Structure 1
Amino acid sequence: MRILEEFWYGNIEPIEYDTNACKEYKEVLRLIIRNEEKLLATMTDEQKELFSRYTDAVREYQTMAECLLFQNSFKLGARMMLEVMEE
């Protein structure tokens, strides 16, 4: 229960992931950055503005999706804990 206490008191932020240890995450992030830099180098200012609005919308969507995933995962975990405690 210690982790739930830490979460309750705000010592754990659910959006802070330890992605440093994940080799695959690092590789994909590096690829995204490299391709974005190449793409931006070929764009006009108008295209850059449109691309910026697009990436902002994608980030907002991803944030919402991560929030929903966290909520659903937390609910599932809570239901599992209740079942274990009832046994």
Structure 2
Amino acid sequence: MRILGEFWYGNIEPIEYDTSSKEYKKLQELNSRNEEKLRVAITNEQKELFEKYTDCVRGYQTITD
């Protein structure tokens, strides 16, 4: 019942992630590798669009953290 109280009072968020877990770190590394491969393979125009996309995703992640 304590966890429901913590949630009710806004002390926890239902979308919190354990960023110290091995699974999270593995996914973060995979994402970084794939992002770098993509940057090498695309045109400058596509890079600009991709930068805008990644900025939005990072902004969203910052808000949800």
TM range (shorter): 0.5 to 0.7
Task: Quote the sequence identity (%).
Answer: 68
Structure label with greater radius of gyration: 1
Higher relative contact order structure (alpha carbons within 8 Å, sequence separation ≥ 6): 2
Name the SS for the 2:12 alignment partner.
coil
Root-mean-square deviation (Å): 2.6
2:61 aligned residue: none
Query: Which amino acid in the other structure matches residue 49 of structure 1?
Result: E
More helix by share: 1
Moved over 6 A (4+): none
Q: TM-score, normalised by structure 2?
A: 0.61
- Structure 1 unaligned runs (5+)? 60-87
Tell me the TM-score normalised to structure 1 length: 0.49
